[in-house]
Chain A
């Protein structure tokens, strides 16, 4: 979506077709685990504004089954997409198919076990909550799982969250933040079970699901949401001559092949900043990479390299967690404002003496104002001092 909007904004006046396997008009995903479940928003409230009034041909509910890159377009680029019995010729292609939620193996037949990725997933869960379910089991204490848990608690549902690691979000945000997040969820009545997995899920005779947990306990849940990560949606690209390895592997300008770019969750590209191939699943990245991919299509190889600072937020209970740049257990960290005890804290992260991240819990001002220093990579000491002075 953002690539299409950027193409038009940057002066591309040629034909532009958007194909999507889903039948819905483009919608914003963050509310799916929050406002849509709490009932504050309905499906009609979350339309993607950047899609409004865009001069494109929509082909919604049209999964693409294959790509033939035959070089029939200008400069040996281009090819055609196969979507059902239709073929669509292109000169340039933006791959932005995102990712699909991972499922627990062997649970496809269980009607009360689902994921939360699409509008249909969210509406199904909301309908279940509306119908008065009493217990929800969430498998995986990642961002989606924790947001779903918080929203369901707000609706008065009993929530059990199981997580195989020792802290929620610990791998991404470090154990201090993870421990804080765990406390906050427990304070809001979430039954959070760490270092615990699901051994089996079976349909219960009385309806719902019986879950056997790795700690030996058995719980009954009316509904189960599995939030154990995603898998880039690249199956349709098999045989297209692209490098597929945990996403569409691109160069530093998001180019995957002549006339082919990738953006969003599906794109994996070498980030100079991170010093490795990265794939980012954040909302802000969908915009930034979409716009960069569009520029790459229009500008060709002279396009700027793509190397932004990642940014995300997550709202859970009364916590707004935001991170610009990088955090994690392997980095130096320093509290620069507030404290975990007062539920309002900003933490600076450094690597090799350089500021690489700023995390805020209910501290949006610090995260926003330090974004520039994180982007330019000031020294960790200077970054800590600057953040303390805010």
Chain B
């Protein structure tokens, strides 16, 4: 599982960080940083939820 963020679309709403802080972090500079490009399978449910709940539909999973 590979996490891909479209940074042209991302607006740092930080919803993904609230759901999967292991993978996504919005820092104090208000930019999103992907901490794990290829998160382990046990985080799949959380990452999929982050994909669904992203207000900008900016996150994808590539298997």
Chain A positions within 8 Å of B, measured between CB atoms, are: 2, 5, 28, 30, 49-50, 283-284, 287, 311, 313, 315, 320, 322, 324, 362, 364-365, 367-369, 371-372
Cβ distance B19 to chain A, nearest Cβ, rounded Å: 9
Q: A283-B55, A324-B18, A365-B28 are in contact. List 8 more A-B contacts (CB 8 A).
A: A5-B52, A50-B52, A284-B15, A287-B53, A365-B17, A365-B27, A368-B18, A368-B26
- What are 23 of the A-B contact pairs (CB < 8 Å)? A2-B52, A28-B57, A30-B55, A50-B52, A283-B55, A287-B52, A287-B53, A313-B55, A320-B12, A320-B13, A322-B13, A364-B12, A364-B13, A364-B26, A365-B14, A365-B17, A367-B14, A368-B14, A368-B18, A369-B17, A369-B21, A371-B18, A372-B18
Residues of A within 8 A of B52 (CB): 2, 5, 50, 287
Residues of B within 8 A of A287 (CB): 52-53
Residues of A within 8 A of B53 (CB): 284, 287
Number of B residues near A (Cβ < 8 Å) is 16
**Chain B at the A interface: SS class:** loop
Tell whether, in the assembled complex, residue A362 and residue B30 are in contact, meaning their CB atoms are under 8 Å apart: yes
Which B-chain residue is minimally distant from A30 (CB atoms)?
A: B55
Residues of A within 8 A of B28 (CB): 365
Chain B positions within 8 Å of A, measured between CB atoms, are: 11-15, 17-18, 21, 26-28, 30, 52-53, 55, 57
**A284 to B50 alpha-carbon distance, docked (Å):** 12
Which B-chain residue is minimally distant from A362 (CB atoms)?
A: B30
Cβ distance A297 to chain B, nearest Cβ, rounded Å: 18
**Chain A at the B interface: SS class:** helix
Ordered nearest first, which 8 A-B pairs have the shortest CB separation? Answer: A368-B14, A364-B14, A368-B18, A371-B18, A368-B17, A49-B57, A365-B26, A364-B12
Cβ distance A90 to chain B, nearest Cβ, rounded Å: 25
Residues of B within 8 A of A362 (CB): 30
Which B-chain residue is minimally distant from A390 (CB atoms)?
A: B28
Which A-chain residue is minimally distant from B27 (CB atoms)?
A: A365
Cβ distance A210 to chain B, nearest Cβ, rounded Å: 38
Residues of A within 8 A of B26 (CB): 364-365, 368
Residues of A within 8 A of B15 (CB): 284, 311, 368
**A355 to B57 alpha-carbon distance, docked (Å):** 30
**A384 to B13 alpha-carbon distance, docked (Å):** 21
Residues of B within 8 A of A372 (CB): 18
**A283 to B52 alpha-carbon distance, docked (Å):** 12
Which A-chain residue is minimally distant from B30 (CB atoms)?
A: A364
Residues of A within 8 A of B17 (CB): 365, 368-369
**A315 to B52 alpha-carbon distance, docked (Å):** 20
**A315 to B11 alpha-carbon distance, docked (Å):** 10
Residues of B within 8 A of A322 (CB): 13-14
**A320 to B26 alpha-carbon distance, docked (Å):** 14
Given contacts A28-B57, A287-B53, contact A365 B30 (CB under 8 A): yes
